[in-house]
Chain A
Amino acid sequence: MTLAEAPLVLMLIGLTAYAVLGGADFGAAFWQLGGRSRARRDHAYEAMGPVWEANHVWLVFVLTVCWTAYPEAFASIFSTLTIPLFVAGLGIVLRGTAYAVHAGTAREIERRSVDAVFSLSSILTPFALGAAIGGIASGRVPVGNAEGDLLTSWVNPTSFAVGVVAVVTGAYLAAVYLAGDAARAGRDDLVAAFRMRALAAGAVAGATALTGLVVVSLDAERLRDGLFGPPALLAVIGSGVAGLGTLELVRRRRFEAARYLASAAVAAIVVGWALAQRPELLPGLTVEEAAAGRPTLLATVVGVALGALVVVPSLVLLFGLVLRGRFDREAARTGMERRSIAATSRPRPLLGAALLALAVGLPLTVLPAGGPVQAVGVVALLAFVALGSVALGSAAARADAG
């Protein structure tokens, strides 16, 4: 791996995470479509509630690394695939809004209409994103500002196949995860419902993936040659084997293991695609040619590594809490009294510090034009805002108590 390829590897990791986690969130909404069982729909909402926003950030991560490290490729992709990507963007807005609104629904009719928007946008978005990926994979995005065909770049057999695979895979992953969550919560009725759905969706996903391979071979010559070459073929076969293994695990009700193996199956597809297309990012544009200059690539890789130091433990914490059932409805505990501290109010020293900060900050901000002295002044002013708000705010809130 060269430095020029390093950000691409990061993007593929991000894309896999988005497909596995975000894809499952889309899939959870898929199962709400037309679902008559209120319990099932609630279960899907509750399962994704704490995680969908974090899962969504993977998409943003992929985009930002792409436009930093491979700016021309990013611009070519977005200007040619403008329609499916814009549709996906609108789908994301509708979905997020429906999610936010869902918390306030009371009557069944409200609930049903919100669910409908939620489900439809959750099918539309992965399909549109998949169609865009199909356009890239089948070599329909030339380098340049909207140089490709705005329509056939995504209305074509490969795009359609990838779009369908994206939707079905998400539904499959979601069913596996939801069955696992239900098992943890001890909801046998839900376990049965989602296990059955997982088995069915798994079979459909396998069939769709195989059909997709045939479609791609007929439609995209270059991609076919890549996919059936040694390294990519290994990934494709690996994905198939992992997929079959997941089905067997679901059948045996070993949902936690299935969760991880299913994710591996999806990851293998992403890796296979990348290997098949190597070394080209877009037709006539290799990864090396598309890559930004060395300082930018280095800064990106180092920046992501530093960011990962913060984000990976945070994600582990979040998913640990979720998977251990700490956010489940039943987990609300009542034994959490707080140690009552005698109301020692200290507004005066705080207020004094705030006024001191103001006395320093005001002249130092107003008088100099730039330079470190002014910087000190601005920091002092901000300190005034923070200290003053805390001192006055807590005093005012408490003064009111009597």
Chain B
Amino acid sequence: MGNDDLGTLRRFARRRPIRRTNVTVLVLAAAAPFAPVDQEYLFEARQMQALSFAVHIPLVCFGIAFPAFVLFMEGLWLRTGDPVYRTIAKRWSKVMLALFAVGVVTGTILSFELGLLWPSFMATFGEVFGLGFTLEGFSFFVEAIFIAIYVYGWDRLSPRAHFATGVPVAIAGFTGSLMVISVNAWMNNPSGFALEGGRVTDVEPLAALFGNDYLWHELVHMYLAAYIVAGFLTAGVYAWAWLRGRRGRYERVALVVPLTVAAVASPVQIVVGDWAAREVAREQPVKLAALEGLHETEEGAPVHLLGWYDGEEVRYGIELPQLLSLLASHDPGARVEGLEEVPADERPPVNVVRVAFQTMVGIGFALAAISLVYLVVWLRRRRLPRSRWFYRALVAAGPLSVVALVAGWVTTEVGRQPWVVYGHMRTEEAVTGADGIPVGYASLVLVYAGLLIAVAWILRRLARAPVEVAAGPRGVAPLLSGGTRPDERELPE
């Protein structure tokens, strides 16, 4: 099954020669109950959806990666008996539970919004991709059940059983993201159905979701991103403590584990990103053209750093010749399709996509650089870097990684515009006919502002609780392992 054939077919299908006139819309409205409507506030609806994602996705990163960090710490405790690991694992698991709770409810809002904001999308295509979310629901169940057993099971289950109850949480984090991303990959590269008169036929839900080449690079890219974001944010907290003079063993261990994970993952992410770019070049050439602001189809197309796309070319950018061709097909002379290949109303907002893409890539390289500094120092000297600048960089790396994460999603989702289902349904055809979107948007902004304040508050509270590096339940462990020296039991206050 040639992917190129499919791609060509889709590109033909995409070029619909006749724009609908008002008359045909009326006729369609009589025939199909989910014909396009006039929605004055389409932009606000998109903003509302984007806001909901931007709040939810960083929390998802903690849902995916944090259980692994906690288990790692508990595993170290099981192996060595050093109580500092258990203390960290236990404290982190409380943060994990609080963030999971917020992730649960912000994820629920997203599923509501699919129906509230995009009913025509759901009505038309729900039967093609909906299964992905149904299956995701089971991951969500497993996560919710075992995260509760794990966090409430401290001191109540045997250490091994307790560790084992955490494992399903980490696995469900992976399967959950697999399912959700299968839907997103389908929106970007839809298949597994035919359209007849605005209704889908010949639906093959499994092929649509899991037989899609586009799924794998999105999944791996996001999965690594989750570890990078959670790793740098967590390490950043203890880098901050380091700068403030709290450099006990507790802080050092809590810094070094998430940092190591993020540092190993960040350079790999660049390779995965390169793979993703090639997939985009093959399946969504218009998106690739928008990433660069390439107007005309070219052989040996360049990349411009910074600059601004003025509708015809990139101005004031630093030109790196042939780089786009090299990235797109690993051939400096390769032909790259420009934006001119499709009508103007089928191009995404180029500058949004460009800026988001360059932000993501720029931050990604910076994170990889910090990572390499850490890895090289550690491998050569077996210690952490000593420069204050390294710790300052780590403090910045956390928030920056979130910016890169969101910028990456902006790149892929705004780059998908004007389509909600690439090549088949435009976003404006998906939107609700209901009034009041601005009111909903404003209320969501208010509630989410409150939510962010509340989350910041609870994290501070949890962080300020005195660190008690007590032994495990029996008080024997430190004697066995040498454990914590009293002078290192600094209480953060």
Residues on A close to B: CB < 8 A? Answer: 49-51, 53-54, 56-57, 59-61, 63-65, 67-69, 71-72, 74-80, 82-83, 85-86, 88-90, 92-101, 103-104, 106, 143-147, 150, 292-293, 295-296, 299-300, 303-304, 307, 310-311, 314-315, 317-318, 321, 326-327, 331-338, 340-341, 343-344, 362, 365-367, 369-370, 374-375, 378, 381-382, 384-385, 388-390, 392-394, 396-401
Query: Do A333 and B156 have beta carbons less than 8 Å apart?
Result: yes
Query: Do A401 and B82 have beta carbons less than 8 Å apart?
Result: yes
Q: Which of A94, A310, A332, A382 contacts B142 (CB 8 A)?
A: A310
Query: Do A321 and B149 have beta carbons less than 8 Å apart?
Result: yes
Most B C-beta atoms less than 10 A away, residue of A49, A68, A76, A331: A68
Most B C-beta atoms less than 10 A away, residue of A49, A335, A397: A397
Q: Which residues of A contact B122 (CB under 8 A)?
A: 67, 71, 74-75, 78
Q: Given the interface contacts A145-B432, A292-B203, A370-B213, does A397 sit within 8 Å of B85 by beta carbon? A: yes
A388 to B115, CA, bound (A): 43
Most B C-beta atoms less than 10 A away, residue of A77, A99, A143: A99
Query: What would be 20 A-B contacts, judged by CB atoms less than 8 Å apart?
Result: A50-B152, A54-B144, A64-B136, A69-B130, A90-B443, A90-B444, A90-B447, A93-B106, A93-B448, A100-B98, A103-B462, A147-B433, A292-B203, A311-B141, A332-B155, A334-B473, A337-B476, A385-B265, A393-B260, A396-B257
Which of the segments B298-306, B307-315, B354-362, B434-442 contacts the partner chain? B434-442
| Interface bits B129-160 vs A (CB < 8 Å: 1, else 0) | 01101111110111011111100110111111
Q: Which residues of A contact B271 (CB under 8 A)?
A: 362, 365-366, 381
Q: Which residues of A contact B126 (CB under 8 A)?
A: 67-68, 71, 74-75, 292
| Interface bits B112-125 vs A (CB < 8 Å: 1, else 0) | 11111001101111
Query: Do A338 and B159 have beta carbons less than 8 Å apart?
Result: yes
Q: Which of B34, B79, B138, B205 contacts A311 (CB 8 A)?
A: B138
Query: Do B145 and A60 have beta carbons less than 8 Å apart?
Result: no
- CB neighbors of A among B271-299 (8 A): 271-272, 274-275, 278-279, 282
- Within the complex, what minimum Cβ distance (angstroms) separates B313 from chain A? 28
Q: Which of A146, A331, A341, A392 contacts B81 (CB 8 A)?
A: A341
Chain B residue at smallest Cβ distance from A291: B127
A292 to B123, CA, bound (A): 10
Q: Which of B116, B159, B223 contacts A336 (CB 8 A)?
A: B159
- Within the complex, what minimum Cβ distance (angstroms) separates A387 from chain B? 9
Q: Which of A101, A382, A392 contacts B457 (CB 8 A)?
A: A101
Query: Do B109 and A92 have beta carbons less than 8 Å apart?
Result: yes
- Within the complex, what minimum Cβ distance (angstroms) separates B265 from chain A? 5
A76 to B265, CA, bound (A): 44
- Within the complex, what minimum Cβ distance (angstroms) separates B493 from chain A? 14
Q: Which residues of B contact A292 (CB under 8 A)?
A: 126-127, 130, 203
Tell whether B72 is near chain A: CB-to-CB under 8 Å: yes
A145 to B115, CA, bound (A): 10
Q: Which of B101, B107, B279 contacts A99 (CB 8 A)?
A: B101
Tell whether B15 is near chain A: CB-to-CB under 8 Å: no
Q: Which of A89, A304, A394 contacts B108 (CB 8 A)?
A: A89
Query: Do B138 and A68 have beta carbons less than 8 Å apart?
Result: no
Tell whether B46 is near chain A: CB-to-CB under 8 Å: no
Count, chain B residues at interface, CB 8 A: 129
Q: Given the interface contacts A78-B115, A296-B205, does A64 sit within 8 Å of B257 by beta carbon? A: no
Q: Which of B3, B134, B274, B451 contacts A64 (CB 8 A)?
A: B134
Query: Do A338 and B472 have beta carbons less than 8 Å apart?
Result: yes
Q: Given the interface contacts A92-B108, A295-B204, A381-B268, does A56 sit within 8 Å of B119 by beta carbon? A: no
Q: Which of B111, B124, B135 contacts A303 (CB 8 A)?
A: B135
Query: Do B116 and A314 have beta carbons less than 8 Å apart?
Result: no
Q: Given the interface contacts A293-B203, A393-B261, does A104 sit within 8 Å of B105 by beta carbon? A: no
- Within the complex, what minimum Cβ distance (angstroms) separates B167 from chain A? 12
Q: Given the interface contacts A93-B106, A333-B156, A388-B264, does A74 sit within 8 Å of B123 by beta carbon? A: yes
- Within the complex, what minimum Cβ distance (angstroms) separates A311 from chain B? 5
Query: Do B436 and A150 have beta carbons less than 8 Å apart?
Result: yes
Query: Do B115 and A340 have beta carbons less than 8 Å apart?
Result: no
A12 to B74, CA, bound (A): 40
Q: Given the interface contacts A96-B102, A384-B268, A397-B253, does A145 sit within 8 Å of B34 by beta carbon? A: yes
